[in-house]
Structures are given as structure tokens and as C-alpha cells.
Structure 1
Amino acid sequence: MRILYLADTYRPARTACANRTAVLVGALRDAGHDVSVLASTDSLIGAPEGYELPAGVTYFETFPLVEKTLVNRFRNNFGGAREAVKAADGLGDFDVVVCTTPPLLLTSSAVKIARRKRAKLVVDVRDVWPDVAYEMGSFEPGSLYGRFFEHIARKAYAASDLVVSVSPGKVEKLKGRVPDGRVVLVPNGIDETFLESDEDPILFERLRLDDGLICAYVGNIGLAQGLGTLLDIAKVRPGVRFLLFGDGADRASLEARAEAEGIGNVEFCGKVNASGVRTALKRADVSYVPLVSSRLRDSIPTKMYEALACGCPVLLAAEGDAADLLDACGLGAHAAPEDPAALQSAFDRLLERPFSDEKRSAASKWVVENHSRQKFANVFVKEIEEMAGKNV
């Protein structure tokens, strides 16, 4: 089949969207399908000079989402949705169009493209919009934004031939919204290529990763992560080093708070590549994995898979699907993000009763065997082939 895969970001970006898309596209190509990727120019933000762009990828122009304000998001999403349709016109015919969301508005482009190409439409839902915005308190049901996004979502589901999503809770939520109820679970899991990364000896030396107890956070440092709670823990546990890897809209305010309150055991380490992430998680005593609200019950942060695969115990600020997965693995503790006392207690338990090397190794093996992103990607391929086989 000829397949068009429409995504907000792709390589060289290392976003959640790009990481998932790269594995699913790879599985489709390994199965013999001709896959063209259509992604926004946001994919190129921060790319190293002289980077060789991947083959089979077309980048559509959009307003660069460097500063993630509301106005910039709208300019980025609306402009990108329009340019994606234009770019698809020059790519020929396709049997299947796959669109991964968020951003939800990109599904409108996918619907138009699939109709023009007379292709089947697959919608890959990483976050259910606008539900996730309601759960985070960004806006309310019945608001102008809420009604707008609900309308876009209904149109996408009505036009789709197959819907896939990343967690059991999301699948159940979507079954009542997709007209024929056909929603398939294709989780994220651990990208096995991540485990092929070598450790970074320079990072190890620079951050003295063998010096004392370490709690690591790796990911976006934004408002949605609720990292103020981690600073609360750091403030009352000065004997532990708290290393925050990444960048984002909330970094400056967190740094200012740490300085103002004299929280000297928090270090902001900047962005790292896959090798740096693996090095930090292999050497940390605890990895902090937060969701900003316990209402996000159907979300499973990818960073938790990576920590567990590295044998790093997880302090999870979440309830629902993510907590269930952590319980099944057995390498960590969790509490509601709104309960700082319970999170503090869980953190102390992890440090007071450290896991053995055997337990860490067993947890790592369990994650790879049961939650491999590559294995789940093969399910994705089979579902698309089954859906499209009778019509291609």
C-alpha cells in the first residue's frame, strides 16, 4: 500500500509525537508498504547544523512553536493544518492516510486529504481532546474552546475507518464516540532502540552521577508537569540531589524559586540526547514521573517506560492507567499529584528500602518483554492491513 503518515513532528525532533511516529512508520516500511511522512517544520527546530534530513519526509510550513503561548499555538495549528493539505496535493495518490493527534486540528487536514485521495483514514489518538484540556483545567466543557474542539473531534471520528489509541482508559473513552466503536489499543511502550544507546561518560563525569543519592526528572519542564511538587520534596530532603533534565516554559520560574528559597540541591541540567537520558536513568536512585492532575487517569507518560527499562525505581505522581502499570512492574511507588504528603512518604520509602540489583534487572526485562513499542507497532500494521485489505 501507499500510505501517507501525517504528524505534527517527526525526525529530527525527539518529541513524543516524533518518537511514536518514527517507530510506527518503521514498522509499516518493514512490512513492505510505501510510506510518505508529512510533518511540520517544527520538526527542524533545534536540529544540528548539517543534519541530513530523513528520506521520504516532506515538511509543511507552519508558524514556529518556539514560545508556547496560546496565540502562537493557534497560529501554528491553523497555519499548519492549511499548509499540510497543500503539501499533500503534490505527493500523489495514497491508499491510506494516517494522522496522529494532538494537535487535534491536524485531523481536519487528514479528513480533507483522505477524501481527495479517496483513501482510508486512520486516526492515532495520543491524547483525547478536548477531554485532556478539561482534566487539566485549561478550559471548561460548554466553553467556546470546548465546543470547537468537540466539533473537530466528532468530524474526525465520523470520517475515520480505524481509530487507535495508547492506553486502555483512552480506548474505553473513545469507544462511545467512534461511530462503529472500532478502537484498537496500540500502546507506546519502550522503544527498544533506546536501550541500544551507550552511556555518556562525559555527562557522567560532569554531573558526578556517582556522588550521593540522586532523584532524576527527564522531560519537558512545562506547566503541565507540575514540577513545583518536586521542589517541595527537595526542600525538605537536602541530602538528596535532584537533577532536572530538559527545558520548557516553567524552567525559569522553577529556577527562580529554587534560588529564592535556597533549595541548593536542585540542579537544572538542560537537554540531553537518548544517550544522556539512559545515563541519567541508569545512575539515578529514583526517577520522578509526574502528571499535573489525578484526573488524567488514562495517561501513561513515556518517560516511565524508559525509567523502568533502565531499572530505575519510579516515584509516580498519578493515578489510573499509569499507576496500574507501575504496580504490575513493581519497581516504584505512586501517589496522587494533589497529595504532597503522600508523595513525600512514597519518596522516602523508595530511598529507605532500595530495590536490589536483581529486582531492577527483572523489572527491566519485564518492561521490554511486555511493553515493547516495536511489538505494539506490529499490531498497528496488522490492523491497518486488515482494515484496508478488502479495498486496496
Structure 2
Amino acid sequence: MKKVLVIAQFTQLPGETGNNRSRFKLICEMLAKEGYDVTIITSKFRELDRTFRKENELYNSAPYKIVTLDEVGYYKNISFKRIYSMWSFTWSLKNFLKNTNEDYNLVYACVPGLDSALIAGKYANRKNIPFVIDVQDVWPEVMYDLVLDVPIISNILFSPLQLMANKVYAMADGIMAVSKTYLEIAERKNRKSGIKDYVFIGTDIEEFELSVNENINVVDKPSDEFWIAYIGSLGHSYDIYTFIEGAKKASEKGINVRPIILGSGPLEKNFKEFAKRIGSNAYFTGWVDHAMMGSYLKKSDAVINAIKRKAPQSITNKVGDYLSSGRPMLNGSLNLEFLELLNDYKFGFNYEPESSESLYLAIEKIYRLSKKEREQMGSNARRLAEEKFDRKKTYPKIIKMTEKLVEKSY
């Protein structure tokens, strides 16, 4: 039986919640279903909620093997402790690969983390087996806006990370990415691989519908309120201040709009204090599970892709859920790939990121549409979800890439 090793420091395991973080869990399940002997290596530390994993009986019932390695953990996104924590996982991975007796036929690694992907790539090269990377995010690009956005100093500060990223990209025999944007960044540094593709993170639409239907009545929405929902991290890349302020301006103009903010993150307290200071009626739910999140989306009148101007994110985790909900979207992303989708499918309106006035005008525009017009936009969103974001339809491309590389290595 051919063996595949999946290395994903940040992932969801059986029995765990994680909203839309189950990409590698599903990949492992699909590979196992195709007859591969699959092992996934991840961390004992869950970065999602900053907790340490305990042995779960569901691990043993999974159709693949699960290995959790030591990591010291951290509590702040931007901290030396986080850097040390990621290094500690890399050391654990290095030791595991040094001492394993297994003969794998392919290594499939999540990027980031870069350190662990580099170790995985070196191991694959030593063993002369295919190495596949799955680009989930682009480091260090994502860090410029988060830490220090001073062009020359930033380039110097992050140059070691950029060199590491380039090495990882260059050694890959196969490149998978969560967007065309990320694929193009990785393949610019790769002269080795002829097998490259992208598959949006997406969502399982059938599962989404089932969970929403079970919880839809839990969410009580006043009929006179116009809800706009945001889901995801409350962190530095996301334009929540503009969302709160733009909605406040709309309410001052007579639109009974209410921002519904689902999620948590390092700036949650700051956003709440800002909302209180300007007299916003924004409702913060905190972290909710995937079923409840979907129910809020379905009850809302619109959704918002609130992202900062310089943020490098392309097609983020939340997009699949937004589109699956069948709600029109207010979009602040300037990513060309996303703007092309919006133009082709016509599922919402753009606004200028970090401009509360522009967002207010977009809110007014979507509010003034007839019910039929909003429903048409929502139907367009749902059509896009079904065509390009439904994991049952799109993830087989990932499995086919893996199969090609395994067969090619024989």
C-alpha cells in the first residue's frame, strides 16, 4: 500500500471544532478512501483557541493515522513566544522524521509554517520522493501590514523569512494553493514542478445546509433590522473599524442597520470599545461553531468581506461560507482574483476599504434594492459556491495531483 505523509501544523482533527479549518482532515479522508495509507502530523498545540490537545478516542477511529508533536504554545499572535513555539514544533518534526522507520511515497505539507515545510521538503529530497506544498497563506507578505509597513526596513527585517519561503517553493514537485493569487506567487520561484493547481478552501455545501437547518430557529432576528454579518478573525488585517463606523453612518441616515460580528481575535476588545465609544449597535457574538455561524449568515440580509487595503489575503476561509449562505455581499477586498469573481457572478457591491463613507454608500445601495434584486444577488452567490467552492466537487483535483506524483515516482 502506498504511503502518504501529510504535515499540517495548523489543522482540525476528528472530534474538534474549527469552523472552516478542515481542509487537511478532508484531504486525509479522501486519500484514505482511495486506498492510501495516510499519516498526518500536526501539533499538540491548537493555535485556533490556544489550547493543548488531549488524546481523543476519535483519533483511533479515523481512517488515517494521527501523530501530534510537542510545541510549547503561545498566547499572542505577534510575539517572540510565537516564533519560539513554531521553532519548537519544527524541532519535534525534525526528530520524528529522523527516527521514523516508515517508507513514505509522498510528503504533502501545509505552507505556512515555513520552518516545518522546509524540514519536510529536505526529508522528501533525501528520500527521493515527491514533495507537495499546499499554500494556505503567503509569508512574509502577510506580516508587513501586521508588524511593520516600512518598505526598506520591512524588506530587511523579513528577508530571512522570504528566503525560506523561496526555498520551500523551489523544492516542491507539486504546488497546490487556495487561490490563483497564491499559486502565482509560489510558482514564480519554482522551476521544478510541472504539476500546479489551485482549489479554493471552500466548504461542504451539503453539510452547511444540514447544520444551518438544525439551528436556524435559534437565531432571533427582529423584522425591522437590516443585518450585515461579518465572520472570522478579529485581527489586524480585517477592516472592522470601517464596518462599525460605516454602519453607524447608515443608521444616522435612517437605515436600521445592525452589524453582526461573529468571531474572536486579538483586537476584539478594541473593536468593542470603539463600537461603544461611537454609539454603535454592533452585536459581537464571540466565537461560535460552524452551525451557529451559518445560521447567522442565513438570517442576515447581507454579508461583508471587510479587509484592509494593504492586506495580502486573496480568497479567505470565510468566502465559501458567505457564498453558500446565498446572501449579497459588500466587498472591501482589492484582490484582483476576487474582484474578477464579483464582476463575473455579480453577487454584491464593492466599496473602498478603510473608507466609512464609501461603505455607508454601498450599504445604502444594497438596502435600496428591491427584495427580488437582493435575492438575485444571493442566488448568484450561491451559484458561484456550487460551481467553484463546493468541496465535494473541487477537492478531487487535490487527490488527482497526489496520485499523479505518486505514480510518477515509480
Give 1:23 shift.
2.5
Q: 1:84 to 1:210 in 2, by over 3 A?
A: farther
CA 1:349 to 1:194, structure 2 compared with 1: closer, same or farther past 3 Å? Answer: farther
Would the alpha carbon gap of residues 64 and 313 (structure 1) be closer, same or farther in structure 2, given more than 3 Å must change?
A: same
Structure 2 match to 1:302: 317
Rounded Cα–Cα distance in structure 1 between residues aligned with 2:133 and 2:199: 12
CA contact (8 A) 1:9 1:15 kept: no
How far does residue 20 in structure 1 lie from its aligned partner after superposition?
Answer: 1.9
Q: Distance in 1 between matches of 2:204 and 2:365?
A: 29
Counterparts of 2:86 and 2:54, CA distance in 1: 26
Structure 2 residue 330 is the aligned partner of structure 1 residue 312:
no
State the SS of the aligned residue for 1:37: strand
CA distance in 2, matches of 1:212, 1:51: 43
Instruction: Supply the AA of the counterpart residue of 2:362.
Output: A
Pick the aligned partner of 1:370 from 353, 369, 388: 388
CA distance in 2, matches of 1:77, 1:285: 40
- The aligned residue for residue 325 of structure 1 is 341
Amino acid at match of 1:385: E
Residue 87 of structure 2 corresponds to residue 78 of structure 1? yes
1:60–1:84 Cα contact (<8 Å) kept: yes
The equivalences for 1:1-392 within 5 A come to 1-12=2-13, 18-43=21-46, 45=49, 52-54=57-59, 55=62, 56-88=65-97, 89-90=99-100, 92-134=102-144, 138-139=148-149, 140=151, 143-180=155-192, 182=194, 183-199=196-212, 204-205=217-218, 207-208=220-221, 210=223, 212-238=225-251, 239-263=256-280, 265-294=281-310, 296=312, 299-319=314-334, 320-353=336-369, 354=371, 355-357=373-375, 359-392=377-410
**Shift in Å, 1:75:** 1.5
Deviation at 1:9, TM superposition (A): 2.0
Structure 1 regions of 5+ residues with no counterpart? Answer: none
8 A Cα contact 2:40 2:67, kept in partner:
yes
**Distance between the aligned counterparts of 2:200 and 2:115, measured in 1?**
22
The 2-side partners of 1:194 and 1:349 are apart by 32
- Go from structure 1 to structure 2 and tell me whether the alpha carbon gap of 1:179 and 1:352 turns closer, same or farther (over 3 Å shift): same
8 Å CA contact 2:46, 2:53 repeated in 1: no
Secondary structure at 1:198 match in 2: helix
Going from structure 1 to structure 2, the CA distance change for 1:367 and 1:209 (only over 3 Å counts) comes to farther
Shift of 1:174: 2.6
- Specify the code of the residue in structure 2 equivalent to 1:351: Y
Q: Which amino acid aligns with 2:38?
A: V
Q: Distance in 2 between matches of 1:78 and 1:196?
A: 40
- Cα distance in 1 for residues equivalent to 2:357 and 2:279: 21
For residues 159 and 180 of structure 1, the distance between their equivalents in structure 2, rounded to whole angstroms, comes to 7
How far apart, CA to CA, are the structure 2 residues paired with 1:4 and 1:48?
20
Q: SS in structure 1 opposite 2:21? A: helix
Q: How much is the aligned-residue C-alpha RMSD, in angstroms?
A: 2.8
Q: Distance in 2 between matches of 1:343 and 1:80?
A: 42
After superposition, the Cα gap between the structure-2 partners of 1:189 and 1:328, relative to the gap in structure 1 and judged at 3 Å, is: farther
Moved more, 281-290 or 141-150: 141-150
- Aligned to 2:22, the other structure's residue is in SS state helix
What's the CA shift for 1:91? 6.5
My pick for the range that moved more, 280-289 or 43-52, is 43-52
Name the CA shift for 1:41/1:82 in 2 (closer, same or farther; >3 Å).
Answer: same
Q: Distance in 2 between matches of 1:47 and 1:213?
A: 40
Q: Shift in Å at residue 119 of structure 1?
A: 2.5
Q: Within 1, Cα distance between the matches of 2:67 and 2:395? A: 22
Which range moved further: 85-94 or 374-383? Answer: 85-94
Structure 2 alignment gaps of length 5 or more: none
Displacement of 1:280: 0.6
